[in-house]
Structure 1
């Protein structure tokens, strides 16, 4: 959360001349409501089931840049699928991450004590991100263009 997956993903797709896709947007479009409502109505477990299906569909048929929701990595099946693709982990520190998501943003998992909860989520997820990432790019203190350039370089996707 707050690493810039969507913003950087759009820039990467533009620079590579491919289509961008965000699985959170796919979920909201297919469910016809925002993720925050899905969490309220179906709980995290219901949302994660929709997320698994969205990620699986996107990975099997999308030829461009794909941004996943921050918790998609929790699913072992998703992690297995990701090992077949060039994955970049956009690593963000707590200060920048919380600042970027905002303490009043509609993020269900940050509803109570956002700073502490963000830390807990990252401590649980970071090893999983590292498990599948071919590249780790630190985003702290960088603008999205700098992060996109670092991803391209790290994944050796720069075209001549």
Structure 2
């Protein structure tokens, strides 16, 4: 467990980047709770595709914002790992709540996610040409991910356990810098490959 980490860790990034897999692995390694806000929405309200089809994207975004708020509030002051849906960061209230977390942006490119997207056609926002829709969404969201991030983890290479190890190291370094226990602060928030 990270002794110096007294804040929740929020994983952000585009669809299909591996937030859930890396988040679960990190939580296991740290022995802390893991919350996937998409799973929470589905558990309470049904599938995301059904919510989009029956109630629309704005209704889904409201449910998503509530799930994020509940997860962040319940995790306050603890080392909980929270995975957010790709578009959750677009909500201004969510952005404000993330200020209480250590925010990790899982950075990737279209090649990184193309196989996962091809296998999972159940993403409502990717109907039609899934990769073109992903690129458009990513282009609009990437600046928000970068602005909110305390740590940027490049996930283009490495297994899930390797990525979680690299992220754990980065979080330990970031926590040491924040508490003044690091010899020299990190020059950048990006975690190298």
Q: TM-score range by the shorter chain?
A: over 0.9
Partner Cα separation in structure 2 for residue 132 and residue 39 of structure 1? 26
Alignment of 1:3-152 (within 5 A): 3-31=17-45, 33-62=46-75, 63=78, 64-102=80-118, 104-152=120-168
Contact 1:134 1:155 (8 Å CA) reproduced: no
Pairwise CA RMSD of aligned residues? Answer: 1.5
Give SS of 2:35's match.
strand
Structure 1 runs of 4+ off > 6 angstroms? Answer: none
Q: Which runs of 5+ in 1 are unaligned?
A: none
Q: Deviations over 1:77-121 (max 9, x none)?
A: 111111221111111110111222225520001111111111111
Partner Cα separation in structure 1 for residue 120 and residue 149 of structure 2? 30
Q: Which runs of 5+ in 2 are unaligned?
A: 1-14, 175-193
Give SS of 1:100's match.
helix
Shift, 1:141, TM fit: 2.3
Bigger CA radius of gyration = 2
Shift, 1:145, TM fit: 1.1
TM-score, structure 1 normalization: 0.93
Give SS of 1:141's match.
coil
Shift, 1:143, TM fit: 1.3
Partner Cα separation in structure 2 for residue 104 and residue 90 of structure 1? 19
Contact 2:117 2:130 (8 Å CA) reproduced: no
- Residues 74/58 of structure 1: CA separation in 2 closer, same or farther (3 Å cut): same
Give SS of 2:153's match.
strand
Give the total of aligned pairs: 157
Shift, 1:154, TM fit: 1.7
Give SS of 2:82's match.
strand
TM-score, structure 2 normalization: 0.78
